[in-house]
Structure 1
Amino acid sequence: MTKFIIRRLLQTIPVLFGVSILVFSLIHLIPGDPAQIIAGESAPETQVEQIRERLGLNEPLHVQYGTFVGNVLTGDFGTSIRSSRPVVDEIGTRFWVTVELAVYSTILSVFMGLIAGIVSAVRHYTVTDVVIMIVALFGLSMPNFWLGLMLIQWFAIGNWIPESLQPFLQMRASGWGDDWRQVVLPVFTLGTAGAAIIARMTRSSMLEVISQDYIRTARAKGVKERVVIYQHALKNALIPVVTVVGLEFGALLGGTVLTETIFAINGMGRLTIQAINTRDFPVVQGTVLILAFLFVFVNLLVDISYRFLNKRIDLN
């Protein structure tokens, strides 16, 4: 296991290296002079030169890249052009808001998706199966922003859910109060598509496992159906589902932009959009790098989890 983890960590180095090159190139791929764009068209040349010098744009590209990588390795992502605060502080609590939102949405997706997928597989080719798959298809097809707007129209305007949401970290110490309601709509919005994907994958994987000889043997021996489904079939059907869950969680970390904008949540997605609109390149670079690192880390955890689900899998 230790050798596998070390090898996988080493394999992430080229990935992160490629991501760092792409992120570093962001500021150089935009048309025109980045310093002039940041300062504005009417800015005096002295101000443009100050920005160029502060960002190190006067240096050769290889020197700029070396400085960029060195700063990142020490946790220095630069200073926000918009607020003049360190990028790490800008990301700060917004990072945890997005992570919490992704975690809650993933939990909801797994809960709904597994139940729907198991029921659909056990009752395959029945009316129940058809209804679940149709609902899953609708959940998969609905854009997140449309579902979010509809939920606001149905619930927030009816005063059941507050329209303007605050970070979950700011809950009052006196108790939950109304704060539990503040996370319901965005979590449901983000979790719907994931639940649909997990339901379809669970059904497909369960049907494949149920048709195996050892399942028929267990049933022939008189093993209870519940034991057959949950201990024999589901456990062996979870590996592709876990892969989907890992990818879904990684996608949620970087795919909450529209949902955070619609529900006025101050998360990483909204911060990235604000940084793009204000041409705050250091913040854009910092958010992309952090999200890429998280995605790679989640994939590593998914690979490790395979061994715990099936001891027969050789990680080497």
Structure 2
Amino acid sequence: MIIYFLRRVLYAVPIALAVSVLCFMLVHLAPGDPINAIVPPDAPEDVVLQVKHEYGLDKPLPVQFGIWLVHVVHGDLGRSLATGQPVSDELSVAVVNTFRLAAVAALLGFLLGSVLGGIAAMYRGTWIDRSVVGVAVAGVSLPHYWLGMVLVVVFGVMLNALPAMGAGPGGSSDWAWDWVHLQYLVLPAVTLAAIPMGIITRTVRSIVIELLSQDFVTTLRGKGMRSRTLLRHIAKNAAPGVSAVMGLQLGYLMGGSILVETVFAWPGTGFLLDNAIFQRDIPVLQGTILVLALFFVALNLIVDLLQAVLDPRIKRS
């Protein structure tokens, strides 16, 4: 088991290095000059050259990448071209806010998807099954931003029941797990939970239907096992597949919430990326994309190891 874990960790190292190269190159391949975010268009040429030299933008790309990678390894993601603040300071606050939103959305999607998928499997072929499948398909198909805008109009404007923008009455720095702050989390979390809810519902339904047709379930039923105990056995066998899907969904929620955070002005990594794109703030873009990509790599590694723990049938080689 230890050798298997170490091998999986070593496999993640070249992947992380490749991710860093892609993050650096893709940002620089985008059209536009990042120096425009610092100096005005009518600035003298000598001023532009001086600013480029200060930020290291006058060096060849391989040299820039080497310098950037060394700084990243030491925890320095550079300074924002737009604000002059350290990227790590801005990113640390944004990552916490995004993780808070993604964790609540993932938990909501996992609970609803597991319950609905189990119900649909137990009542397979009935109107209940068809209704649940319809809800799951709608959750996967509806665009995030459209659903978010509908919820804002209904609950934020028409009913005035929930706040539609921001992370709290005093901003995100003084967050507390009380209703005063949680009410700001309801609409974006529900919006973000729609897709994982639909995916988990369909996954649980298919896994449970397959398990119900297996011999061990028929044997347990023949022995007169109670339904509640039988459900525990089914849930244990379904856990590896469902946990893998849920782990990947959490990674997608961390990196794919840019539109939802923009709609609700939630101060997370998506909102930070949106501003950095329009401001052509390369250090913020590179740092944010790199952190999200490395988080996804780490999450895949954790899910892989967790599957090996939950399911001994997985070959550890």
SS at the partner of 1:170? coil
Deviates more, 1:11-20 or 1:304-313: 304-313
Q: Residue 239 of structure 1 aligns with which residue?
A: 240
* Aligned sequence identity (%): 38
Change (3 A) 1:36 1:161: closer
Q: Residue 197 of structure 1 aligns with which residue?
A: 199
1:227 and 2:232 aligned: no
Deviation at 1:47, TM superposition (A): 2.4
Q: Residue 266 of structure 2 aligns with which residue?
A: 265
Structure 1 Cα separation of the partners of residues 135 and 34 of structure 2: 48
Deviation at 1:229, TM superposition (A): 2.1
Matches within 5 A, 1:227-306: 227-231=229-233, 233-306=234-307
Counterpart AA for 1:180: L
Instruction: Show structure 2 runs of 5+ residues with no match.
Output: none
SS at the partner of 2:236? helix
Matches within 5 A, 1:1-316: 1-31=1-31, 33-35=33-35, 39-157=39-157, 158-166=159-167, 170-171=174-175, 176-231=178-233, 233-316=234-317
How many residues end up aligned between the 2 structures? 313
- TM score, norm. by length of structure 2: 0.93
Deviation at 1:177, TM superposition (A): 4.3
Structure 2 Cα separation of the partners of residues 36 and 216 of structure 1: 69
Structure 2 Cα separation of the partners of residues 271 and 209 of structure 1: 44
Deviation string for 1:85-113 (max 9, x for gaps)?
Answer: 11101212111000110000000010000
SS at the partner of 2:153? helix
Counterpart AA for 1:6: L
Counterpart AA for 1:102: A
Deviation at 1:313, TM superposition (A): 2.8
SS at the partner of 1:166? coil
Deviates more, 1:214-223 or 1:286-295: 214-223
Structure 1 segments, 4+ long, off by >4 Å, are none
Deviates more, 1:205-214 or 1:3-12: 3-12
Counterpart AA for 1:296: V
Deviation string for 1:127-168 (max 9, x for gaps)?
Answer: 111111111111111111111111111111122101222256
Question: 1:36 touches 1:48 (CA, 8 Å); kept in 2?
Answer: no
Deviates more, 1:236-245 or 1:163-172: 163-172
Instruction: Show structure 1 runs of 5+ residues with no match.
Output: none
Q: CA RMSD in A?
A: 1.8
Structure 1 Cα separation of the partners of residues 97 and 302 of structure 2: 21
